[in-house]
């Protein structure tokens, strides 16, 4: 009867802290009166399947109406009433006292007693992680952590445990018929759900940071690592292993924007600057160089390399020079002893750059041809107006 | 009705795609049928548990594929005279395609371990992908079912045990978010971590990534120095990677930590996750951590273990001897104080013989 009356009060006045406290007390007393005919294990199974979600919803609604701090303090008051219930056995009283101790240890000592003002002092932020800290500010001003997690408390044996592994451990035998144990268990579960949901904005922010980092790493692997040979992957890995070398190691959230090039062959076209010569395909080796990548997209931005061109016959020597790369287009100068003479300076163009130039040249040729055609038509018009097209 | 436990599955070394976990899940289903666990029989385990298989092998595959592609392109673009010069440098990479299935099996296993252990950038890419999957799934579940208790568990296997260790160390420290935030241990604990053929001690990373250092150990929820409420480690005595340098934490709370030693041989690949899952000690521990101790009562556990044949029906005496010799050779190659090269030698020796 008491329980029913209290239940009605919940729905009518649940936003009022005093009445809420009254409700919690009534529920607690009602739950502990009389012996249960079911064991804790049986009750737990039934509660988990039929009642736990509703408990969670009720707790979240109450916490939303009261605020986390008020909810936490009201819950503590209810457990204190339970601990003082003379009907409890000695063991049950000990459990309730342990619960109270954990709540007291977990509660943040409100030295200033003005949490709202402290919260107001935290400047709003657009950064998701910082913003989440703002949002979960009240949580962290209320409790130092969440020791109330009772998801699967029976891993190692048939007994149930709250605060497992602590000095305040509450060990409930699976065959216990204690209603107080059920109340404490439900209270822990409710507190856990409330604290976890209060922490959710901070968890979402971490997940968003990681998702952005994943996109960066995907871009880095697709643009930087996929352009490397095994020895370059190894040397860049070794450079990244050096402590305090963020230039080459980056961080977990940000891959490095620099990568070393080492003995990296690439296809190019080369032409001697002096004398009659045409572009000839050549393989060029970037002996050592550096590539810089764009933030976020990790597309190549620029790079410098010292390069070598291997000699192909006895009249040639190895050539040496420098190549500059902008995005994927490379161009440079190389000095090499060739048939044309010693120390012949050659222009070297990466294949993509030379193809681009050829396309441009073809485009230019086509445009010149088009202009020439128009000029011819114009010449005809000038000499014979009757044959001139309308436009 | 409470929502299903969320169980993340992290694979080990070797080739893995999006379907890799199907074998493990179907093995669990077969175990339910075979041992007739009365609270589970007639149900599929995936009806009771939401499995989230995680793949990270794509980064290893992409890297080796890029090596092959780049090397092949150079040989294709080179003139005949140039080819002679470059062939010796890049031809071996272009020829990375193993000649036989057995070689490929050994190669893909060894290269995964090599890249994970020796390359911090690829390691970071892998860790970020795994962390994204774990945090994304947990956040989604908490948004969808705000009122439920959430049981979060991870089953990691072989190389995946090291991956899991790294990811959780970084997650607990706010590695991606410049500090300790939503997933810090004071506010979040995984319900259980299951490490099958744990090779963290074998790979031996420094600092808080070290096998027994850091936060990845069992402890009470709310505890700032631990990250799970229960930690289990499974080791088969015939598995060279689990026994050469076994995972043996010195002073962990034994109410929250278990080493389950098994010794069954139902297949030559005793290192496989599916092979481990066959043993009642392994799958019962997992079932209980996901669904509660009472899911498999003690008397059913005793019956299942006593009825379980240590040597499988397909394993002949000759196969047993072959396995013993193989384990002895692989273990010998790894040695008692192995470096990375020793580990790679052991992997190659083992997987050349143990075909997929």
By DSSP bridging, strand A258-272 and strand A341-350 are antiparallel
Rounded to a whole number, what is the distance in Å from the CA of B257 to chain A's nearest CA?
Answer: 9
Interface test with A, best of B293, B296, B301, B341 (most A CBs within 10 A): B293
Judge: B121–A220 Cβ closer than 8 Å, yes or no: yes
- Regarding predicted confidence, which is higher, A135 or A58? A58
Q: What is the pLDDT of residues A274-297, one digit of tens each?
A: 776 688 888 999 999 999 999 999
Q: What does the pLDDT read at residue A224?
A: 96
Q: What does the pLDDT read at residue A119?
A: 47
Residue B324 phi, psi dihedral angles, 5° rounding: -60, -45
**A130 pLDDT higher than 80:** no
Point out the residue among B176, B221, B290 whose CB comes nearest to the CB of A210: B176
Contacts of residue A262, Cβ cutoff 8 Å, sequence gap at least 6: A231, A232, A235, A286, A287, A288, A289
Q: What does the pLDDT read at residue B273?
A: 97
Report ipTM for this prediction. Answer: 0.92
Nearest CA to A358 out of A327, A333, A329, A319 is that of A329
Q: What does the pLDDT read at residue A189?
A: 96
Rounded to a whole number, what is the distance in Å from the CA of B326 to chain A's nearest CA?
Answer: 31
Judge: A206–B174 Cβ closer than 8 Å, yes or no: yes
Do the beta carbons of residue B282 and residue B17 sit within 8 Å? Answer: no
Q: What does the pLDDT read at residue A104?
A: 92
Judge: A49–B2 Cβ closer than 8 Å, yes or no: yes
Query: Distance between CA B351 and CA B336 in Å, rounded?
Result: 20
What's the mean per-residue pLDDT of chain A? 81
| Cα–chain center distance at A108 | 29
Structure tokens at B122: 């690829």
Q: Could you give the 3-state DSSP secondary structure of residue A273?
A: coil
Q: Number of CB pairs < 8 Å for A and B?
A: 275
Contacts of residue B113, Cβ cutoff 8 Å, sequence gap at least 6: B13, B159, B203, B340, B343, B344, B347
The residue to which tokens 């500090």 are assigned: B179
Q: What is the pLDDT of residues A99-128, one digit of tens each?
A: 999 999 888 764 444 445 444 444 555 555
Q: Which residues of A touch B67 (CB under 8 A)?
A: 228-230, 233
Helices A230-241 and B57-77, interaxial angle, to 10°? 130
Judge: A164–B63 Cβ closer than 8 Å, yes or no: no
Judge: B149–A189 Cβ closer than 8 Å, yes or no: yes
Report the residue of chain B nearest A254, measured CA to CA.
B176
Do the beta carbons of residue B257 and residue B219 sit within 8 Å? Answer: no
Query: Distance between CA A43 and CA B292 in Å, rounded?
Result: 13
* CATH number assigned to the domain covering B6-353: 3.40.50.1820
Q: Which residues of A touch B57 (CB under 8 A)?
A: none
- Looking from the CA of A125 toward its CB, the CA atoms found within 13 Å total 15
Judge: B93–A230 Cβ closer than 8 Å, yes or no: yes
Query: Distance between CA A125 and CA A131 in Å, rounded?
Result: 5
Structure tokens at B159: 């190389």
Query: Distance between CA A186 and CA A179 in Å, rounded?
Result: 11
Q: Tell which phi-psi region holds residue A256, choosing left (phi > 0), alpha (psi between -120 and 50) or beta.
A: beta
Judge: A129–B120 Cβ closer than 8 Å, yes or no: no
Point out the residue among A53, A144, A164 whose CB comes nearest to the CB of B229: A164
Point out the residue among A139, A151, A195 whose CB comes nearest to the CB of B149: A151
Using a pLDDT cut of 90, give the percent of chain A over it. 48
Query: Distance between CA A110 and CA A120 in Å, rounded?
Result: 16
Judge: B186–A199 Cβ closer than 8 Å, yes or no: no
Query: Distance between CA A23 and CA B116 in Å, rounded?
Result: 57
Rounded to a whole number, what is the distance in Å from the CA of B208 to chain A's nearest CA?
Answer: 15
Using a pLDDT cut of 70, give the percent of chain A over it. 78
Judge: A152–B292 Cβ closer than 8 Å, yes or no: yes
Interface test with B, best of A227, A244, A265, A286 (most B CBs within 10 A): A265
Point out the residue among A132, A226, A253 whose CB comes nearest to the CB of B62: A226
Nearest CA to A282 out of B283, B83, B208 is that of B83
Judge: B149–A192 Cβ closer than 8 Å, yes or no: yes
Point out the residue among A60, A146, A312 whose CB comes nearest to the CB of B221: A146
Report the residue of chain A nearest B206, measured CA to CA.
A241
Q: What is the pLDDT of residues A145-160, one digit of tens each?
A: 999 999 877 767 788 9
H/E segment holding residue A275: none
Judge: A312–B122 Cβ closer than 8 Å, yes or no: no
The residue to which tokens 């970071």 are assigned: B124
Handedness of CA B347, A241, B15, B284 (dihedral sign): positive
Rounded to a whole number, what is the distance in Å from the CA of B148 to chain A's nearest CA?
Answer: 5
Judge: B89–A263 Cβ closer than 8 Å, yes or no: yes
| Cα–chain center distance at A182 | 39
Report the residue of chain A nearest B118, measured CA to CA.
A237
Confidence of residue A310 (pLDDT cuts 50, 70, 90): confident
The residue to which tokens 């018929």 are assigned: A177
Average pLDDT of span A366-370: 78
Judge: B229–A155 Cβ closer than 8 Å, yes or no: yes
Q: Which residues of B touch A190 (CB under 8 A)?
A: none
Query: Distance between CA A144 and CA B5 in Å, rounded?
Result: 26
Q: How many helices (H) and strands (E) does chain A have?
A: 13, 8
Q: What is the pLDDT of residues A61-92, one digit of tens each?
A: 999 998 888 899 999 999 999 999 999 999 99
Q: What does the pLDDT read at residue A132?
A: 56
Residue A143 phi, psi dihedral angles, 5° rounding: -135, 155
State how far the alpha carbon of B21 is from the alpha carbons of A255, B28, B61, B110, B351, in Å. 30, 11, 18, 21, 20
Nearest CA to A78 out of A18, A24, A13 is that of A24
Report the residue of chain B nearest A46, measured CA to CA.
B1
Average pLDDT of span A344-353: 87
Point out the residue among A53, A237, A283 whose CB comes nearest to the CB of B118: A237
Q: Which residues of B touch A53 (CB under 8 A)?
A: 1-2, 145, 147-148
Query: Distance between CA A28 and CA A26 in Å, rounded?
Result: 5
Q: What does the pLDDT read at residue B270?
A: 92
What is the 3-class SS of chain B, one letter each residue? CCCCCEEEEECCCCCCCCCCCHHHHHHHHHHHHHHCCCCCCCCCHHHHCEEEEECCHHHHHHHHHHHHHHHHHHHHHCCHHHHHHHHHHHHHHHCCCCCCHHHHHHHHHHHHHHHHHHCHHHHHHHHHHHHHHHHHHHHHHHHHCCCCCCCEEEEEECHHHHHHHHHHHHHHCCCCCCCCCCCCCCCCCECEEEEECCCHHHHCCCHHHCCCCCCCCECCCCCCCCCECCEEEEEECCCHHHHCCCCCCCCCCCCCEEEEEECCECCCCCCCHHHHHCCHHHHHHHHHHHHCHHHCCHHHHHHHHHHCCCECCCCCHHHHHHHHHHHHHHHHHHCCCCCHHHHHHHHHHHHHHCCC
DSSP A286: E
H/E segment holding residue A190: helix A179-223
Interface test with A, best of B222, B223, B341 (most A CBs within 10 A): B222
Residue A271 phi, psi dihedral angles, 5° rounding: -145, 140
Report the residue of chain B nearest A127, measured CA to CA.
B177
Q: What does the pLDDT read at residue A113?
A: 47
Q: What is the pLDDT of residues A187-207, one digit of tens each?
A: 999 999 999 999 998 999 999
Rounded to a whole number, what is the distance in Å from the CA of A372 to chain B's nearest CA?
Answer: 38
**Parts of chain B with a pLDDT under 50:** none
Q: Which residues of A touch B86 (CB under 8 A)?
A: 265, 283
| Domain ranges within chain A, ordered by starting residue | 2-210, 225-374
Judge: B77–A351 Cβ closer than 8 Å, yes or no: yes
Judge: A151–B150 Cβ closer than 8 Å, yes or no: yes
Judge: B258–A146 Cβ closer than 8 Å, yes or no: no
Q: What does the pLDDT read at residue B59?
A: 96
Do the beta carbons of residue B203 and residue B167 sit within 8 Å? Answer: no
Q: What does the pLDDT read at residue B217?
A: 94
Contacts of residue A3, Cβ cutoff 8 Å, sequence gap at least 6: A26, A27, A30
Judge: A156–B230 Cβ closer than 8 Å, yes or no: yes
């Amino acid at each position: 009867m008491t329980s029913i009356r209290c239940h009605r009060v919940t729905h009518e006045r649940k936003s009022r802290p005093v009445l809420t406290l009254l409700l919690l007390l009534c529920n607690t007393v009602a739950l502990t009166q009389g012996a249960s005919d079911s064991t804790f294990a049986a009750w737990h199974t039934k509660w988990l399947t039929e009642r736990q979600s509703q408990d969670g919803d009720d707790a979240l609604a109450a916490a939303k109406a009261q605020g986390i701090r008020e909810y936490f303090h009201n819950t503590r008051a209810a457990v204190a009433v339970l601990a003082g219930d003379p009907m409890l056995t000695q063991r049950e009283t000990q459990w309730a006292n342990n619960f109270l101790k954990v709540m007291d240890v977990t509660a943040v000592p409100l030295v200033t007693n003005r949490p709202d003002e402290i919260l107001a002092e935290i400047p709003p932020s657009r950064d998701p992680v910082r913003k989440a800290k703002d949002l979960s500010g009240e949580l962290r001003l209320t409790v130092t952590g969440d020791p109330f997690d009772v998801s699967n408390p029976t891993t190692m044996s048939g007994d149930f445990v709250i605060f497992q592994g602590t000095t305040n451990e509450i060990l409930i035998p699976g065959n216990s018929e204690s209603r107080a144990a059920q109340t404490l268990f439900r209270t822990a579960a409710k507190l856990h759900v409330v604290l976890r949901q209060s922490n959710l904005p901070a968890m979402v922010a971490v997940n968003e940071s990681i998702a952005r980092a994943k996109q960066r790493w995907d871009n880095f692997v697709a643009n930087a690592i996929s352009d490397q040979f095994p020895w370059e992957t190894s040397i860049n890995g070794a450079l990244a292993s050096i402590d305090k070398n963020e230039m080459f190691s980056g961080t977990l959230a940000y891959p490095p924007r620099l990568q070393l090039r080492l003995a990296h062959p690439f296809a190019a076209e080369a032409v001697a600057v002096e004398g009659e010569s045409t572009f000839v395909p050549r393989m060029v080796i970037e002996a050592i160089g550096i590539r810089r990548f764009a933030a976020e997209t990790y597309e190549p931005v620029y790079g410098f390399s010292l390069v070598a061109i291997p000699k192909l016959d006895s009249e040639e020597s190895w050539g040496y020079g420098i190549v500059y790369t902008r995005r994927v287009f490379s161009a440079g100068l190389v000095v090499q002893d060739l048939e044309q003479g010693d120390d012949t300076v050659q222009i070297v163009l990466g294949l993509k750059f030379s193809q681009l130039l050829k396309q441009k040249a073809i485009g230019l040729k086509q445009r010149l041809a088009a202009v020439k055609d128009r000029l011819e038509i114009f010449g005809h018009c000038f000499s014979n107006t009757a044959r001139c097209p309308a436009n | 009705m409470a929502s299903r436990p969320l169980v993340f599955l992290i694979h080990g070394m070797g080739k893995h795609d999006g379907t890799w976990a199907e074998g493990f899940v179907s093995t669990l289903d077969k175990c339910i049928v075979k041992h007739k666990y009365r609270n589970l029989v007639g149900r599929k385990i995936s009806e009771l548990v939401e499995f989230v298989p995680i793949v990270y092998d794509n980064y290893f595959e992409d890297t080796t594929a890029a090596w092959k592609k780049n090397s092949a392109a150079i040989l294709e673009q080179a003139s005949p005279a140039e080819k002679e010069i470059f062939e010796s440098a890049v031809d071996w990479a272009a020829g990375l395609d193993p000649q036989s299935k057995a070689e490929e099996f050994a190669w893909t296993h060894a290269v995964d371990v090599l890249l994970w252990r020796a390359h911090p950038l690829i390691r970071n890419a892998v860790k970020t992908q795994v962390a994204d999957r774990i945090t994304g799934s947990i956040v989604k579940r908490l948004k969808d079912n705000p009122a439920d208790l959430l049981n979060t568990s991870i089953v990691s296997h072989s190389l995946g045990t090291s991956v899991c260790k790294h990811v959780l160390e970084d997650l607990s420290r706010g590695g991606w978010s410049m500090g300790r935030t939503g997933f810090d241990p004071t506010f979040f604990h995984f319900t259980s971590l299951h490490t099958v053929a744990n090779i963290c001690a074998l790979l031996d990373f420094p600092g808080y990534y070290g096998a027994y250092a850091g936060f990845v150990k069992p402890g009470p929820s709310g505890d700032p120095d631990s990250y799970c409420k229960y930690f289990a480690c499974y080791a088969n005595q015939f598995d060279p990677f689990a026994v050469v340098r076994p995972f043996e934490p010195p002073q962990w709370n034994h109410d929250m930590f278990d080493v389950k030693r098994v010794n069954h041989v139902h297949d030559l690949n005793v290192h496989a996750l599916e092979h481990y899952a066959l043993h009642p000690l392994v799958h019962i521990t997992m079932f209980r951590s996901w669904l509660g101790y009472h899911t498999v009562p003690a008397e059913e556990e005793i019956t299942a273990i006593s009825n379980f044949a240590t040597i499988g029906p397909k394993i002949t005496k000759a196969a047993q001897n072959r396995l013993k010799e193989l384990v002895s050779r692989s273990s010998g190659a790894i040695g008692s104080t192995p470096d990375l090269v020793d580990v790679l030698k052991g992997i190659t020796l083992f997987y050349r013989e143990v075909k997929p």
